[in-house]
């Protein structure tokens, strides 16, 4: 059965994530310990003990989720589990690129540490928020956001998660206005998210510029044959792509996960395995591709259940 590995993004973190696999598997211990050694951050302590306020800081969240996902992935690989396609949501793209052989584990940890730091600390001074808009076509959302921007207030689509869910990002005032207008236009629900930065918008230009300098220090490889999907356009990476440019642009560009779902459907993927905390990505796939076979691997129990499957 054709399989895709999906890697979790920011917002799915929980205190205690990865603890049981660390305690049971030497492989997981090596991944956590190596990530801590490379970064100089006590990754396992942040993951296992928090506190939540510390884990939720972008500079900690990104490396914590990446490390947890890679620990789970390593155990899967050692047990012969493979995928034809890999895709991640935002920071999850780095796990996908490591799995696809485009970057080394060490470079991936170093990059995500810098990425998280820049995205968490080089934010505009205004108050920003994000909201998930459910049950409304993305083109209508784009149009209403554009109308609000014409009134001098900043709000844009930031994540195209699936056909029935788009996340918008902007100033808190503009988000509140957008929520009302989008509900009037037929949105079933509008949920404010627990994020404070205008991620995946032009407002993170400074973070993107600083991160581009870090990317220049890294040697990217050709890949190992596993197809990896880009967030910025929902298409596969190719040998012609400038990965450094893409990953710098990634910070200020909307995530096209809905397009990635459609690409995986077109490629004949039937089994989707989300690796890392939370169940957001399989949730998006279930909405657009209800007949798909879905798995979430985020602890010892779910990991070992999947290992039993042919």
Which entry of 169, 200, 208, 253 is annotated as an active-site residue?
200
| Tokens found for residue 228 | 């990896």
Per DSSP bridges, beta strands 155-162 and 293-297 are: unpaired
- Residue 90 falls in the annotated catalytic set: yes
Q: Is 250 a catalytic residue?
A: no
Q: Which residues is 85 bridged to in the sheet? A: 4, 227
Residue located via tokens 């997981």: 28
Which residue, 162, 150, 151, 155, is CA-closest to 182? 155
Terminal CA-CA length for the chain: 9
How far, in Å, CA of 139 to CA of 186, rounded? Answer: 13
Contact in structure between 70 and 31 (CB atoms under 8 Å): yes
Q: Which residue has the tokens 């492989």?
A: 27
CA dist., res. 161 & res. 153, Å (int): 24
60: tokens are: 């900690």
Place of tokens 């995986």: 264
Beta strands in the chain (DSSP E): 3-7, 85-88, 128-134, 155-162, 165-171, 189-192, 227-228, 271-275, 293-297
**Which one of the listed residues 36, 39, 69, 90 is annotated catalytic?**
90
∠ CA 17-18-19, nearest 5°, is 95
Neighbouring residues of 150: CB distance < 8 A, sequence distance ≥ 6: none
Q: If 0-12 CB within 10 Å is exposed, 13-18 middle and 19+ buried, where does residue 279 land?
A: middle
Active-site positions?
90, 200
């Amino acid at each position: 059965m054709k399989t895709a590995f999906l890697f979790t993004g920011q917002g799915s973190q929980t205190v205690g994530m990865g603890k049981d696999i660390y305690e049971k598997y030497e492989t997981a211990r090596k991944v956590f310990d190596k990530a801590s050694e490379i970064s100089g951050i006590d990754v396992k302590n942040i993951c296992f003990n928090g506190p939540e306020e510390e884990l939720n800081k972008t500079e900690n969240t990104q490396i914590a989720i990446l490390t947890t996902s890679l620990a789970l992935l390593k155990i899967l690989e050692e047990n012969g589990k493979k995928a034809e396609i890999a895709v991640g949501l935002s920071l999850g793209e780095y796990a996908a690129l490591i799995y696809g052989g485009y970057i080394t584990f060490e470079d991936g940890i170093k990059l995500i540490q810098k990425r998280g730091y820049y995205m968490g600390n080089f934010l505009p001074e205004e108050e920003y928020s994000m909201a998930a808009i459910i049950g409304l076509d993305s083109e209508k959302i784009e149009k209403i956001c554009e109308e609000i921007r014409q009134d001098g207030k900043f709000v844009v689509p930031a994540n195209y998660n699936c056909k029935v869910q788009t996340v918008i990002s902007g100033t808190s005032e503009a988000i509140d206005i957008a929520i009302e207008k989008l509900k009037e236009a037929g949105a079933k629900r509008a949920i404010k998210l627990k994020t404070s930065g205008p991620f995946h918008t032009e407002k993170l230009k400074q973070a993107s510029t600083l991160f581009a300098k870090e990317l220049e220090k890294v040697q990217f490889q050709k890949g190992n044959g596993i197809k990896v999907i880009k967030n910025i356009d929902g298409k596969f990476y190719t040998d012609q792509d400038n990965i450094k440019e893409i990953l710098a642009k990634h910070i200020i560009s909307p995530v096209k996960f809905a397009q990635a779902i459609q690409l995986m459907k077109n490629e004949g993927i039937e089994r989707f395995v989300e690796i890392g905390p939370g169940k957001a990505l399989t949730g998006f796939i279930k909405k657009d591709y209800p007949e798909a076979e879905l798995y979430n691997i985020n602890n010892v129990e779910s990991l070992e259940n999947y290992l039993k499957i042919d």
